[in-house]
Structure 1
Amino acid sequence: MAERRRGAPTPPTETTVAARDWDGRDIEGESFERVLFSDVDFTETRNTGGTFTECAFRGCRFNVSEHAESAFLNCAFTRCNFFDATFDGCKLVGSVFDGCAFDLMKVRGGDWSFTGLSGARLSGASFADVRLREADLTGATCEKTVFHKADLSGASLHGANFRKADLRGSELSPDHLLTMDVRGTIVDLPQAVVFAAALGLDVQP
């Protein structure tokens, strides 16, 4: 189960939206705070500039939804489906995910720092130019996941599976290589030099 960094408790919700069909709804500039969304269908929702603060999402469907310049701050997602969802320039700082599906999810830009993704199955998802500082990816399955120019500095990656993942241009500590599975991982030439040196190899021209 994903947990918040440093053991911070999950904020209590104050209102509930249950079993609602928000399929195709436009969320533009709306704000929600400490709301529990239970079994809500957000399929094909277009969310531009919406803000969700300390909300909880349980059994919700975000399939093929589009989120631009939106924020999900310190939210908790449980058993939610993000199939083919797109997050463009969004902020999800401090949010946690438990038992969620991320097939074909696309994240471009934005700040996902301090997110809780331990044990998440991220195979097939892509993250480009995303800040993931101090994110918890402990034991996550990131096989064939794309991380292009992602900032993974300070992230927890112990026991994560990065087989055949694409890490080109991403920033992460070379020490992580000793605690994660990187067989077949794609890196660029500058990364290869740094990682080789971290493994004790003598890199020469």
Structure 2
Amino acid sequence: MAQRRLPPTETTITARDWDGRDVEGEAFERVLFSDVDFTEMRDTSGTFTECLFRGCRFNVSEHTEAAFLNCTFVRCSFFDASFTGCKLVGSAFDGCSFDLLKVRGGDWSFALLTGAKLSGATFEATRLREADLSGALCERTTFQRVDLSGAWLRNAVFCQADLRGSVLPPEQLLTVDLKGAVIDVPQAMVVAEALGLDVRP
């Protein structure tokens, strides 16, 4: 994980079962959530600002138009969690699991996903501008119509990933494993130019 100072917290919620809880329009700021079970939580327009989640379970939770701004997630589980139209700008993930994660729309710009194991996850029409995916494992991951402008992808693995319609940073492509990845024709031009090829009609 990229070096980052953990956010200072002012309130602590520990080992509480929020399984199936509905969070609608609630706001939390600088809260430490430690070992909290958010399984099957329904989160509509909830706002979490500079919160720290440590050892929390977000399994099968649903988040719609919610915001996690500059939050940090340490050893959290996101099995089959879904984020629709959510903002996770500047949030960082360390040692988390993302099996069957589904992200549709929303803004994850500047997110720190260094070394994240995202294999099999789905991102559709999401902004990941200047996000750090260095060393991330994205085998068979779906990144369709995702804006990766300025993203850090060094040593990331995108084998057999579906990248169609996504904005790919050409300066990073030479450091990425793209074996078997699915791309469209405009992206093929970007990749060819990144390889120094002279593309002509």
**TM-score (normalised: structure 2):** 0.97
- The residue that corresponds to 1:157 in the other structure is 153
Within the candidate set 184, 195, 198, 2:194 is matched to: 198
- The residue that corresponds to 1:48 in the other structure is 44
Shift of 1:187: 0.3
Moved more, 195-204 or 68-77: 195-204
- The residue that corresponds to 2:75 in the other structure is 79
Shift of 1:94: 0.6
Q: Quick one: percent identity of the two aligned structures?
A: 72
- The residue that corresponds to 1:63 in the other structure is 59
Check the 8 A contact 1:2/1:97 in 2, yes or no.
Answer: no
SS at structure 2 position matched to 1:127: strand
Unaligned ranges ≥5, structure 2: none
SS at structure 1 position matched to 2:188: helix
Aligned residues: 201
Amino acid at match of 1:112: W
- The residue that corresponds to 2:103 in the other structure is 107
Amino acid at match of 1:22: W
Q: Distance in 2 between matches of 1:98 and 1:126?
A: 19
**TM-score (normalised: structure 1):** 0.95
- The residue that corresponds to 1:176 in the other structure is 172
Q: Distance in 2 between matches of 1:100 and 1:2?
A: 14
Check the 8 A contact 1:92/1:112 in 2, yes or no.
Answer: yes
Q: Distance in 2 between matches of 1:68 and 1:194?
A: 34
- The residue that corresponds to 1:141 in the other structure is 137
Shift of 1:10: 2.6
Q: Which runs of 4+ in 1 moved over 4 A?
A: none
- The residue that corresponds to 2:124 in the other structure is 128
Q: What is the root-mean-square deviation of aligned Cα atoms in Å?
A: 1.0
Check the 8 A contact 2:7/2:72 in 1, yes or no.
Answer: no
Unaligned ranges ≥5, structure 1: none
Within the candidate set 13, 16, 19, 1:20 is matched to: 16
SS at structure 1 position matched to 2:93: strand
